Amino acid sequence: MRIFHLSDLHIGKQLHYYSLKENQQAVLFQIVNLAKKRRPDVILLCGDIFDRSVPSGEAYTIFDEFLQSLSKIRPQIPVLVIAGNHDSAQRLNYASSFLEKHQIYVSAMAPIEEGEYLKKVVLKDEHGAVNFYLLPFLKPGYVRHLFEEGVVTDYESAVREILNREQVDYRERNVLLSHQFYTNQGEKPETCDSETSVITVGGLDNIDVSVIERFDYAALGHIHGAQMVKLPHIRYSGTPLKYSVSEEFHNKAITLVTLGAKQEEVEITSIPLKPIQEVRRERGLLKEIIGRGTQENCHDFISVTLTDEKEPYRPKEQLEEVYDFILELRVDNTRTRNILESKEEEHILLHPMEAFRAFYQEMQHQPMNGEEEGIVASILDQWGGEEI
């Protein structure tokens, strides 16, 4: 069975306030054409379909056009969709019953009632049935009430218990669609700037990959760089487009999975996707960066770091004469490095009372009064610390 594995479309996303509409439409058009050419048996969309829980009308239209184009391919290709943490379950679930008549299967919510289970779609090839389990993004609180008190305590136990509840027959071929943060014995997958804000501080959302490694293939979403987690058949497909400068060297692609008979090794290849505009960095003297501009790269999204020791005259205006989409402009020279070092030293030498005064001002938007300072001073005296 040939599978197209995709995730994290983030339709409606902007890059430093620039619209990505044309880029997203173009890459979705490429996916449709590649589906026509390669004829996968199924297409998996593993969460974060939209960038916001309340997508714009434009974002809905783009996704609707994508699904319509896929549904017109003959013979028809089933499309399996799960919700990610960016998606609104209620909005993504809209018209799901109607979509199933066109072989588009949507699972937007984890089971919430005692008699509810994961959506399961069974497809067949020459080797028999393949069971696809659709596990949308979940938090422990979504499913804790389905189990005895104390059974579900974190993300890992929530996913483990939900899957145990399914009583998956591992003698058969099984594929999992999931949108969570999976790790290998605490070793985290490589992340980038465009998704770090959704990863919980302290690793509270970590799920050890052992929970899902018995599946014949685990199609994962949530992480924006394509990579496996511990084993080749447990895989993040990554985003189809670059959504941050930190993804400059990512090779965006469709993950093509070929699932043979049970016990056969899964074949995984990548089908490259090409954006209209690249996302990249430019670093150097202003004159050098301007000189590197060409007809081919002047429309890219670029992050610029200037290294001129003497500040150039109106550098942004000069750059905009060559480059159309400047994401940010930074300066890295002796002066800026000295300023940063000075700030670091000030921070290191800051007295505890001064540090708390600054923190209080930041949080309360007003200085501490005499009584409050007395309380803090008393605490510091009890602690006995004079320096940080």
11's tokens:
């339709």
CA 3 to chain CA centroid, Å, is 21
CA distance 223 to 176: 16
Phi, psi of 61 (to 5 degrees): -65, -40
Residue 200 has what pLDDT? 53
Q: Distance between CA atoms of 261 and 309, rounded to whole angstroms? A: 63
Which amino acid appears at position 113 of this protein?
E
Whether 229 contacts 181, CB under 8 Å: no
Q: How much is the pTM? A: 0.85
Task: Tell me how far apart the alpha carbons of residues 45 and 29 are, in angstroms, rounded to a whole number.
Answer: 15
- Identity at 24, one-letter amino acid code: Q
Regions in the chain scoring below 50 on pLDDT: 201, 385-388
The Cβ of residue 38 has, within 10 Å, a number of other Cβ atoms equal to 12
- 181: DSSP letter: E
Q: pLDDT per residue over 141-192, tens digit each?
A: 999 999 999 999 999 999 999 999 999 999 999 999 999 999 998 888 888 7
pLDDT score recorded for residue 28:
98
